[in-house]
């Protein structure tokens, strides 16, 4: 059932929701998926509203025990993985297994650069609306690449 080959997908200028739907389907089918250039994926919509939405999500805290609150990362690869997790049934054993088969990278690692595929999804250039990249969103939320190197 499970495929041992990893599908390497380039996320450059891909709309994350459309790419996520295809990736979720592959993961639930038991395939391994690696997404490269995660910081270049885009979220369509008003950039100011998107930043505000994710900023509010980062501020959500449970009063009784703040450690039980939802965690929203600032790093672009972890942010993309968290968004893609929302498209999977992550509370079921099948969904947890699917998440383990997902790898998300900033840039293109040398060992994966040979077999990168371009997904057949809507690109930033095809959008009729404004958009923001994951890197811009994370920078607006306080991500500083120099502090994480």
DSSP element (H, E) containing 79: helix 76-85
Are 45 and 129 within 8 A, CB to CB? yes
Q: What is the pLDDT along the chain (149 residues), one digit of tens a residue?
A: 445 789 999 999 999 999 999 999 999 999 999 999 999 999 999 999 999 999 999 999 889 998 988 889 999 999 999 999 999 999 999 999 999 999 999 999 989 888 888 888 877 778 777 999 999 999 999 998 766 55
Question: How high is the pLDDT of residue 1?
Answer: 47
pLDDT at site 148:
55
User: What spatial distance separates the first Cα and last Cα of the chain, rounded to whole Å?
Assistant: 38
């Amino acid at each position: 059932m499970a495929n041992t080959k990893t599908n390497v997908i380039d996320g450059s200028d891909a709309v994350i929701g459309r790419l996520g739907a295809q990736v979720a389907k592959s993961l639930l089918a038991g395939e391994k998926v690696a997404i490269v250039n995660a910081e270049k994926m885009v979220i369509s919509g008003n950039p100011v509203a998107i930043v505000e939405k994710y900023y509010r999500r980062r501020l959500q805290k449970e009063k009784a025990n703040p450690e039980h609150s939802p965690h929203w990362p600032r790093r672009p690869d972890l942010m993309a993985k968290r968004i893609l997790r929302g498209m999977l049934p992550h509370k079921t054993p099948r969904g947890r297994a699917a998440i383990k088969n997902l790898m998300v990278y900033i840039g293109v690692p040398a060992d994966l650069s040979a077999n990168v595929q371009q997904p057949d999804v809507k690109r930033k250039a095809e959008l009729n609306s404004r958009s923001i990249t994951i890197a811009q969103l994370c920078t607006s939320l306080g991500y500083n690449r120099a502090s994480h190197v």
